[in-house]
Structures are given as structure tokens and as C-alpha cells.
Amino acid sequence: MVERLRSEGIRDEVVLSAMNSIPRHIFVDEALAIRAYDDSPLPIGSGQTISQPWVVARMTELARNGRDLDGVLEIGTGCGYQTAVLAQLAKTVYTVERIVALVNKARRHLQSLKIRNVRLAHGDGSADLGESLAVDAIIVAAGATHVPTTLLKYLKPGGRMVLPLVQNDDGERGVQRLTVIEAAPAGIREQVFDAVRFVPLLPGLA
């Protein structure tokens, strides 16, 4: 899997090493384990999917941007796979999931790997989290129609938010693209990257 990711343009060897250290098959149902290392999303229950490895690697690479990470906030824990990857790269990962069944599933997976630098919460990641956080990166693992500005306050100066954002100005209405929102000294800077497809970012708890 890692060699394929490298051949598909992932350049950050620290990210590739982190992904190599996490057994992806434990995050999917046993019946799907044989497909765990394919470069495709897989169902994880509750109408959600585990992202394809390339997307996980690319989002993590964009968030890291060659830097050491102290804290990372993840919106949309899902089954916990990207959380586990991020836990190899950051001192602390704060992760929020709105679907309680997935919270429980992710907690079991992370405990099975003895990952202890993750704070996992059942919450609404589209709203103010009510936390006093300051993180180097935010990864939003759900498609948004606009930048969730309530989360920007958690970014340290120079920090980056990576999210699938619907772009409507390029002739392809409704296309999600990986977008980086950077808290630059001169203000918020936005960069648009690869086309992706995520489930929508929804409000409320489930």
C-alpha cells in the first residue's frame, strides 16, 4: 500500500511511515478485511465509510506541511483509522464524531492498538466545541459547502485546516476539492487541491 501511495504522488515520508505502522484491516469488518489495503473507500456502518488510503495520506500530508505537529483536531472520527495515523504524527489528537455507534467503534480500535494520545468525544463537529484548544492542524473528514468558521479559532498562527470543500466556481458545480485554509500572518489564505468525494458534514448528534 505504501509503495502504491508513493507512486501516486505522496511525498511526505513521515506520513508514509505512519501509515505503514497502522494495520488498516482492523478498522473494517472482518468480511471486508481482504480489501482493506485497496485504494478505495469501504463501508464502516451508520452510512459512513473509511476513506481510501490515498485520501488519508493526502489530507495528512497537506495538514502536516513538513512540520512537527503538537496538537491536531479531527472532525469526523469514523472508525478511527485516520485518527490512529495522526496519533503517530502529533503529540495529541482531539477527535470528534457525531454518531455514537462510531465513537464506540473507534474507541475499541484505538484501545486495541494501545494508542493513548487521543481525546475522543461524541459531539457536533460543525459547531463550537466549547473547548479551549490551540492546534497546529484541523482535518475535517466530511464534505462542507462552506468553511466552518467556528473551528478557525482553534488554529494556532500558521496552522492549517484541511477539508473537502464544495467548489462552485470552476464550471463543475458541486465538486468537492481538498482545500487548505491557512492562518497566515496577513490573514486567512485558501488553496485548492485535489477533487474528492466525502459524505456531507452534518449538524447535530446521532
Catalytic residues: 51
Quick check: 85 and 22 in contact, CB under 8 A?
yes
Return d(Cα 153, Cα 43) in angstroms, integer.
Answer: 32
Amino acid at residue number 38:
D
Quick check: 136 and 67 in contact, CB under 8 A?
yes
Quick check: 155 and 139 in contact, CB under 8 A?
no
Burial of residue 135 (CB within 10 Å: 0-12, 13-18, 19+) is buried
Phi, psi (5° rounding) for residue 103?
Answer: -55, -50
Return d(Cα 63, Cα 86) in angstroms, integer.
Answer: 10
